[in-house]
Amino acid sequence: MDYRVEHDSMGEVRVPADRYWAAQTQRSHENFKIGVGIETMPREITHAFGVLKKAAALANHELKPEKMTDRKLDVISAACDEVIEGKLNDHFPLVVWQTGSGTQSNMNANEVIANRANEIAGEKLCHPNDDINMSQSSNDTFPTAMHISAVLVLEDKLLPAAQGLVDELKRLEAENADVVKSGRTHLQDAVPIRFSQEISGWRSSVERDMELIRLSLAPLKELALGGTAVGTGLNAPKGFDEKVAQQVAQITGKDFRTAENKFHALTSKDEIVFAHGAVKALAADMMKIANDVRWLASGPRDGLGEIRIPENEPGSSIMPGKVNPTQCEQVTMVAVQVMGNDTAIGMGASQGNFELNVFMPVIAYNFLQSARLLAESIISFTVNCVVGIEADRD
């Protein structure tokens, strides 16, 4: 492999010649060989850094045009667009298990964007710190990336997945309005209930969880950017925080705004804790729905056998014809993972010492994993199970 020599405040570092990252990224890559290739910083965070770095360049161009020139803005914006589109993912190798402020991931973004911008410019025009990180600090960029990525994954992935399940449950309700069965409490027979009413309970639970997730979005849309190192805004021009939030909103199409109190925004992760609590509520209800479905489909001869679910794959290596409720089982496993992640997020959020929380990478990793897994789990459950549920009317 060919290498080039990069420099930082500590001296020389050899970097793979075909990578856009530079000295500080390489140091982190060498010093934190923990979960390499498995637990890399989530791509949602990489995407969010592309968004916020472009927004910062646009705001700086307006406030400090003598430093953020037209030419610099053009090439930085082009490089950021490639980060946003995922074209440069291979140049973001760092793992979650790094500094608790996410400093190395911020520098990874600064170095990649600077080197790609310089390549586009055909000259060494942009510096990672002086230009890409202008008016910023790792301490306000990483919490900003956390909030951007959280809003995007909830609004664009998890909520649509949940809505798809709600739509299918509404169809099932209409199809089973005339089916009367036994209600059950304590796993024992109770009074009669319509199957459609039972389904309506599932549907309403998911709809309520969606309401709770939507309630959590407004606090998440407040951004720390502009607080810089400790919340005072040192080295950021007056009005930068408001202008950069406006640019983030314009790029994403979401109504982001600057956080009123940057000291809170840097050290407290309560918005993430609250939002993940709503995600956990959805996971808890998905656990209940999946368990109900597999109980009702149990048998088919010696169980409850009240409903039939799709037969997607053989369920045994030694019992021909046996089919298991595998989609229900993946839902319950994902729900358990989300509940475990909630504990990690809560513990991490409690570790905000003085002016900074230094558990942010693990908080972001667990939050994004929960939202992503749950969204994909719900889609799989809907498409491969719910759409094929049939009541055994006899």
Q: Which residues contact 290 (CB under 8 A, 6 or more apart)?
A: 327, 328, 329, 331, 332, 335, 381
**Strand 180-185, strand 11-16: pairing:** unpaired
Q: Bridge-partner residues for 4, per DSSP?
A: 15
Quick check: is 186 catalytic?
A: yes
The residue among 10, 209, 249, 221 whose CA lies nearest residue 107 is 10
Q: Which candidate in 182, 204, 316, 350 is catalytic?
A: 316
Amino acid at 151: V
Cα 211 from Cα 281, distance rounded (Å): 11
The C-alpha atoms of residue 331 and residue 259 are separated, in whole angstroms, by: 36
Distance, in Å, from the CA atom of 324 to the CA atom of 311, rounded to the nearest integer, reads: 8
Q: Is 29 a catalytic residue?
A: no
Torsion angle (degrees, nearest 10) of CA 219, 64, 78, 93: -60
Residue 4, SS3 per DSSP = strand
Query: How far from 64 is each of 59, 134, 230, 236, 340, CA to CA, in Å?
Result: 8, 10, 22, 10, 46
> Annotated active-site positions, please?
186, 316
